[in-house]
Amino acid sequence: MGPYLGAGLSLILGAEVIAWASSVGAVSLPLVGALAPWQLTFMLVALPGLCMALLLPLLTEPVRGERLTTSKDAISWREARAFIWPRRGLFGAYLLGAPFIVLVLYALQAWVPSLLIRVHGLEIAEAGRAYGAIALLAGSAGVLSGPVASRFLARRGCGERAPLITAMISTLILIPFMVAAGLAPSPTLALILVAGASYWVTFPLALFATGLQNASPNELRGLMAGCYVLTTNLIGLALGPASVALVSDYIFEDAQAVGKSLALVGTVFLPMAALLIWRGLKAMDRATRDPLQGV
């Protein structure tokens, strides 16, 4: 829930801070100089991070268990490749399929405020409050609902395939919400559809995080978690916001076409994610059941 609570609160509180900073006007600080309202907003919302940093020394390293070998040495790259390559279909679902969904998530978070401002005429503070509430509530509800749905399917015969089945279903449901949200004719309808898209885009994300850990032996969990962060950032964070901008500039050639661009990005990347997840399911069906690999 952390990213979605953070995204929602940042938009809601950021809207209030920028509204206050705009009323104050330019501020001059020692060593920094004159600050525009948007610059002052960045500095003020960053201050709570200093408090969070003080909590980091309280974290402790857990005891390792479920090891692939009895050796205490780090697993070699050759051993890692020997484990991962035969299961490339399964790991591809997590390391490539999931990032395409994250791409759509970042596209939404980056461009929905612009959609509300440019296309539907909302003020910046009003757009921040509206979308912030949606990100806070719908995003948190989605990421909590995914595991509940997965356990429901697991109890009804899907077993260990339930997380990926849940992810594929939610991804297919998300496609029409993305398209409709981008093409909605009114701000009210757009916000309703954006809420639906925000719910379904976060629905499978907790399942990806836990599923990847369950599919990996203890010695590889840190490596696979690092690969997951790498691919979700390179594909999701780097391409998500940029893809909407590129589509607006070079396909529609219109800065007002934010909604159409969001719809097109969802139409292209979400089926790719569903296909990769489907390949992961097929790989699970072919795999030999090995308790250590969690498949």
Beta strands per DSSP E along the chain:
27-29, 33-35
Which pLDDT value is given to residue 158?
87
CATH topology (fold) of 77-285:
Growth Hormone; Chain: A; (1.20.1250)
Pairing of strands 27-29, 33-35: antiparallel
CA 51 to chain centre: 25
Place of tokens 């994250």: 102
Which pLDDT value is given to residue 11?
77
* Residue-by-residue DSSP string for 52-81: HHTTGGG--PPPP-S-SSS--SPPPHHHHH
Tokens of 293: 């690999």
Which pLDDT value is given to residue 222?
87
At 277, the amino acid letter reads I
Residues of the chain with pLDDT under 70: 64-73, 287-295
Please say whether the beta carbons of 166 and 207 come within 8 A: yes
Which pLDDT value is given to residue 293?
44
Please say whether the beta carbons of 132 and 268 come within 8 A: no
Q: Where exactly are the structural domains of the chain?
A: 77-285
CA distance 42 to 18: 9
- Strand, helix or coil at 33? strand
Tokens of 57: 């020394």
CA distance 26 to 11: 22
Which pLDDT value is given to residue 291?
43
Which pLDDT value is given to residue 64?
65
Query: What angle do the packed helices 162-183 and 124-153 form, to 10 degrees?
Result: 150
Could you tell me which of 90, 30, 6 has the C-alpha nearest to residue 285?
A: 90
Which pLDDT value is given to residue 16?
79
